[in-house]
Amino acid sequence: MKRVRIGNGCGFWGDNLDAPVRLAETGQLDYLTLEYLAELTMSILAVQKAKDAKAGFATDFIDVLTRLAPTLKAQPRLKIVTNAGGMNPRACAIQAKQVLAAAGLAEKRVAVVSGDDLLPRLDELLANGNPFNHLDTGAPLTAIRDKVVSANAYLGAKPIAEALKLGADIVITGRVADASLTVGPAAHEFGWGFGTTDLDRIAAGTVAGHLIECGAQATGGLWINADDSTHLENVGYPIAEMSEDGTFTISKPAGTGGAVNLETVAEQLLYEVADPARYFTPDVTADFTTVKLSQQSANVVSVTGGTANGITDTYKVSIAYRDGFMSAGTLVIAGPNAAQKARRSGAILLEKLEQAGFTYAHSYVEALGAGDCVPGVVKGEGDPPEVVLRVAVRDPRKAAVERFTKEFAPLVTSGFPGTTGYTVGRPPVREVFAYWPALIAKSAVTPVVEVV
């Protein structure tokens, strides 16, 4: 039976830059996927593109591609699928072509998947009866329309498969569902259809894509039983080796750190899952309750099941909008009664601001080290010798937040004894981008595939 090895070397923009290179060198892959996008990332990229028409994509990919050039020469059949295109996949593809040409790989075909960016059409879509109601509150998008900076539909695997059918060696997409980066290559290689006949196989591919989409989270990262023997300093990234019938194994390159076992795979299977029987993607609604895991050998887990539970006629839409400003600062409070002094110091800071005429829409005081990171879950015991005071505020007024940043340093001489950790300067003020989830009919969105 034909098998395809798909490895994911990146779980988010900011992940380890060496991981994709090591995985491609040692993983004996057919496909390398690189997952860069999150909801916050899209809003950041949208702001970048607004300032520079050639920006708006995950620039780390260009650096990674440069380092991957020797491997692409040594392994000419290796293909790359990535959503690094973000808000500007074509600009990303143009730079990728330049990198390939400089490395003597000008023959490599780069395809772009777009059509997910709905911002230029947003008013038209609203006028045509797409209210983009908030999935949690039901509120219409018109309530915050003037603040919207990005609106992207989560496309699926079909346009990725189409790009590969056109002979693409590298596929660069905008916003697609994370698991679709894996489903696309599998569907292309095995000839899976996106109608009703192969939905169970598409669902199984979705399980595989979900298991490897977060990189090392499936291979020992954040594993509840990780310790020094897990060697996370050399953690290997995941590989899904798929068969035509949808069964697959999860593994990692030989000789790497981390672990692939029933716990690591099961923990990732349940990551970011609301209803395990209905895991919604653009490709299929997958039923994770039918998944079965078995330890095939050391660091190899066999996965079967993962069946279809229907398919939706909508795409999820990720919308980001401007929602004020925030800042958070820290100080170290040491000595007796450190937690009590820290919490009181935070209150003093806010009281001084109120005396100066500044109150905030949202404020929060934490004594990190005394159980405040996950209040009510991990409780602090005894009197810790030191804690980190963290105070954060959010408000529509940028000037008010800027004033907040100037109240930390005075506590060093006018606060409690043991106050230190002020040498990093005033905390920065950052714009807040809030998240607005919505749906849109698939018939209103047209994915576009082109070879650059």
3-class SS of residue 94: helix
Burial (CB count <10 Å: 0-12, 13-18, 19+), residue 65: buried
The half-sphere exposure of 29 on its side-chain side, counting CA atoms within 13 A, is 32
| 219 in Cβ contact with 258 (< 8 Å) | yes
Q: Which domains does the chain have, with CATH numbers?
A: 3-116+154-312 (no CATH), 323-435 (3.30.70)
Burial (CB count <10 Å: 0-12, 13-18, 19+), residue 59: middle
Q: Which residues pair with 155 in a beta bridge?
A: 176
Task: Give Cβ neighbours of residue 376 (< 8 Å, ≥ 6 apart).
Answer: none
3-class SS of residue 348: helix
What is residue 96's predicted lDDT score, i.e. its pLDDT? 98
Q: Which residues pair with 430 in a beta bridge?
A: 326
Question: 248-251 and 239-243: which strand pairing?
Answer: antiparallel
Q: Which two tokens stand for residue 431?
A: 């714009």
What is residue 1's predicted lDDT score, i.e. its pLDDT? 63
What is residue 376's predicted lDDT score, i.e. its pLDDT? 85
Residues of the chain with pLDDT under 70: 1
What is residue 377's predicted lDDT score, i.e. its pLDDT? 87
3-class SS of residue 41: helix
Q: Which residues pair with 394 in a beta bridge?
A: 326, 362
| 102 in Cβ contact with 410 (< 8 Å) | no
Convert the pLDDT of each residue in 266-319 to its tens digit.
999 999 999 999 999 999 999 999 999 999 999 999 999 999 999 999 999 999
What is residue 382's predicted lDDT score, i.e. its pLDDT? 82
Cβ–Cβ contacts within 10 Å for residue 138, how many?
Answer: 8
3-class SS of residue 14: coil
What is residue 28's predicted lDDT score, i.e. its pLDDT? 97
